[in-house]
Amino acid sequence: MTLTSFSDLRARFDHALDRCLRLPNAPEPLNSAMRYSCEGGKRLRPLLIYSAGSALGMDHQRDRLDLAACAMELIHVYSLVHDDLPAMDDDAMRRGRPTTHIAFDEATAILVGDALQTRAFELLSAPDAACLNPAQRLQMINVLARAAGALGMAGGQSLDLAAEYQTLDLPALERLHQHKTGALIEACMQLACLAADDCALAQVTALHSYGRHIGLAFQIQDDVLDVQGSAATLGKTAGKDMASGKSTYPGLLGLSAAQQRADELFNAARAALAPLGSAAQMLLMLTDAIEHREH
């Protein structure tokens, strides 16, 4: 297995994303706003796809993972642009600078989300999609659509809005976040498996379990950072969840118990990778980086 630094993978991904966003005939200001919205960020979901691919022996086949990584990030960014709108979470800062509807205008931000979402599926459905056969591309489209839609992220956002200024019990809160955040993270694992020529059931099972645990751990950690962090470190408005009446793990369990629950889930994610042995090294390294992030 050839290990690649995460900074190198980010650079590879940013180059691939730049190619995907070269739309010279797209009108302004939509074209510029799409690029603006995609700049910066942790690139967590692309890194998860590349790292899962590494666990499947695809270090020399990353061209198969590039479009899946780009499509996933476009869906993620579209969700952030729409999430920040006044009708949703009404936020003015994202990734350390004005949100898209502030930097441009609300109508443009809505269209940016629409265009990024449809571009994601255009990439995966293109006949020349990076060595992927038609069956692989169709399955990837299905996985991504389900994870982004009413049974996944969009459904989770709906649950989140409906739960404002209410107190959810733990099962309801976990269901909300498994949809809103976890669905796309789990889909990262599925997309990597679909990009491989042959993915054994044991590998699929291990990566699926990892995705479920790391997705929920990430969201709990996000809730904790919203309480503990500052706008300067988070790159977005700190304390926004509490101010907006959101149901959060610290609000339900207390800060210490929420952190403990996140720690348990990070450890469970690592344990899920045990059947993959040393092939999971990149995913384990990424798990450590996620667990110790400050934003």
Average pLDDT over residues 12-24: 96
Helix/strand/coil for 94: strand
Distance of CA 259 to the CA centre of its chain: 21
Structure tokens at 162: 């409906």
pLDDT value at residue 1: 47
> Taking the model in full, what pTM does it have?
0.94
Domains and CATH numbers, the chain: 6-287 (1.10.600.10)
Q: Write out pLDDT tens, residues 224-282.
A: 988 886 555 656 565 566 666 678 899 888 999 999 999 999 999 999 999 999 999 99
Q: Write out pLDDT tens, residues 198-214.
A: 899 999 999 999 999 99
Alpha-carbon gap, residue 151 to 77, rounded angstroms? 19
Q: Write out pLDDT tens, residues 80-101.
A: 999 999 999 999 999 999 999 9
pLDDT value at residue 166: 83
| Phi and psi based region of residue 254 (left: phi greater than 0; alpha: psi -120 to 50; beta: remaining) | left
Alpha-carbon gap, residue 281 to 48, rounded angstroms? 12
pLDDT value at residue 226: 83
The amino acid present at 138, given as its one-letter code, is L
Average pLDDT over residues 51-63: 94
Alpha-carbon gap, residue 248 to 170, rounded angstroms? 10
